[in-house]
A = this chain, B = another copy of it.
Amino acid sequence: MNIERIALDHGSGGEASQELVNDIFLSRLDNDFLRKLDDSAVVRLSGSNLAMTTDSYVVDPIFFPGGNIGSLAVHGTVNDLSMQGATPLYLTLGLILEEGLSMKDLTRIIDAVAEASQEAGINIIAGDTKVVPKGHMDKIFINTTGIGLIPDGVNVSSNNAKPGDIVIINGHIGDHGIAILTQREGLRFKTELVSDSSPLNSLVSSILKVNPEIHVLRDPTRGGVATALNEIAGHSGVGIHVFEDSLPISKPVLSASEILGLDPLYVANEGKCLVFVAREHAERVLRKMKKHPYGKNSRIIGEATIETPGRVLLKTRVGGTRILSMLTGEQLPRIC
């Protein structure tokens, strides 16, 4: 790595993040668990498969339509466990607070943590609070780390996509990132843009009940759908074709994206899940997903193929094809 200083795009979830992980972290901390670079690590413990994942949240603003940094911190970690096929059980909560943060704001955030935990059916079992002098950080940062158990027979991983797999998403793309950004920029639209932040464990467990042989589950957070698909294509050594026509994007997100000059395919989601499933089971899984409150707008958006391994191609409306690369640069710092 021939860069001298940390830049914003090292936190983007895209190409620069990946470089940082490979060059600085993996080279020094390497082990069998870390190397997989899945949403959660999986360890064998007392005869069970335990998933463990960590995430820090630095979202700005801390309150936004559809949630706040507290609910986001629970959803994000619950979802990373879910994407490993794990049943989330326990979370820890690490708070870093700026001196002067109002108790009212803190209380609202902890209320959201409590509510989100309850909905997801998990317990916060340990916590830690640090306070940093005023001006040395921005309001509140949260770390949540979670553990969960992976049921026997479940084996989902970003390495498991197979040619022929159908790619399903559980709803509209880009809602979280665009909601945050319009708040931050003070933009107003007729229809309020609301984050999709939500816990996906119950949706995932309903899918796994239908078909425990789901190959990949991935939540397209930082870097968006395009970056998540690139990671899967790279880890699994398959090509992925995405049908532009079938991408579910709401009108408000589409028009806000145009105004802001953003591509929704690279915008963070916090309640979305990419599902790779063998073609013969796809319709059954899709039907199940549509019945779930967090899956009503589920759609098939693409397929995995032996062509172009490691690459993601967008099949455009007009019949053309363009390469969907990983996110490069950082369009949206502090989106989560």
Contact = CB atoms under 8 A, between A and B. Distances in A.
Interface residues of A, number: 80
A34 interface: yes
A149 interface: yes
A185 B137 CA distance: 21
A216 B110 CA distance: 31
Interface stretch (A2-10, A167-175, A243-251, A273-281): A2-10
Contact of A7 (B46, B99, B126, B330): B99
A1 B17 CA distance: 41
Contacts of A92: 41, 52-54, 145
How many monomers of this protein are in the complex? 2
A126 B41 contact: yes
Contacts of A54: 92-94, 126-128, 143, 145
Contacts of A114: 28-29
A124 B34 contact: yes
B131 A100 contact: no
A100 B31 contact: no
Interface in A118-132: 123-132
Contacts of A17: 129
A63 interface: no
Contact of A124 (B29, B89, B149): B29
A24 B124 CA distance: 14
Interface stretch (A101-109, A230-238, A296-304): A101-109
A5 B100 contact: yes
Nearest to A112: B28
Contacts of A113: 28-29
A9 B132 CA distance: 10
Interface in A131-181: 131-133, 136-138, 141, 143, 145, 147, 149
Q: Which 9 A-B pairs have the closest CB atoms?
A: A11-B131, A54-B92, A145-B145, A41-B125, A143-B143, A33-B125, A46-B48, A46-B46, A137-B137
Interface of A: 1, 3-12, 17, 20-21, 24-25, 28-29, 31, 33-34, 40-41, 43, 45-48, 50, 52-58, 89-90, 92-104, 106-107, 110-111, 113-114, 117, 123-133, 136-138, 141, 143, 145, 147, 149, 330, 333-334
28 contacts: A4-B102, A5-B103, A6-B97, A10-B131, A21-B127, A24-B103, A28-B114, A29-B114, A29-B127, A31-B125, A41-B90, A41-B125, A43-B90, A45-B46, A52-B126, A54-B94, A54-B143, A56-B94, A56-B95, A56-B128, A94-B94, A94-B145, A96-B96, A96-B141, A136-B137, A137-B137, A143-B143, A145-B145
